[in-house]
Amino acid sequence: MAYQLVLASASPRRKDLLERIGFAVKIVPAEIEEKMEPEEDPTEFVKRMARTKVLSVVNRLKGTMATHAESHERQSTGRGKKRDGPDRWVVGADTIVVVDGEIMGKPVSQDEAFDMLQKLSGREHTVVTGFCVFDLVKNKEGIQAVISTVRFKPMSRREIEKYLSVGESADKAGAYGIQGVGSYLIDSIDGSYTNVVGLPLCQLMEMFEEMGAHDILPY
């Protein structure tokens, strides 16, 4: 099948979000080092990470274009099996949780996850997602960051420990999953819900329209 989007991420949540609104998604995980530069603004950090992920995958895809061209030439001469052309659109994103100016990424241990949730308890924090779209045909990119404000309910030590026992904290920024059991922890959200999940769909679709991706939009 022809894939409409290449997702430069192994995140099942981002893949699910895109598939729910009608996209066919091909996963090509980016292998990069996610490290913040000294004095780097959190918003600029997630934008840089999203772009770095996308360009990492774009460079790999460009390396296969010669193979696709050779295959197309065989098709035109009646040899070889018909196959779809190269992928065109690549999407990547990076999401962080910020509280008191401190970035919370994915916890590396249960103790760190506990500390994160204890810090978020009864307070507001911001969720920042940077995303990048790359058009392989026009060699053009778009980058944006979206910010949502989330307020947590107050949590007791026992409640935090019970939530951690569910096991959905390990691979999530801030140690909680708003789309899972962790949804009950959220008192309110100001901004995009899908941004908190990991990919702001409204802003992403607007960027696709601005970049001329009308033929792949699911509406």
Residue with tokens 């970049």: 211
Q: 41, 94, 100, 215: which is the annotated catalytic residue?
A: 94
> DSSP state, 204?
H
CA-derived radius of gyration, the chain: 20
CA distance 31 to 47: 16
Active site residue 94: yes
Q: How far apart, in Å, are the Cα atoms of 137 and each of 67, 187, 199, 213?
A: 16, 44, 24, 11
User: Vertex 9, ends 165 and 93: CA angle to 5°?
Assistant: 95
Q: How far apart, in Å, are the Cα atoms of 87 and each of 54, 55, 173, 210?
A: 13, 14, 30, 19
Check: CB of residue 29 under 8 Å from CB of residue 6: no
CA distance 75 to 182: 51
Enumerate the β-bridge partners of residue 102.
99
Q: Which residues are catalytic?
A: 94
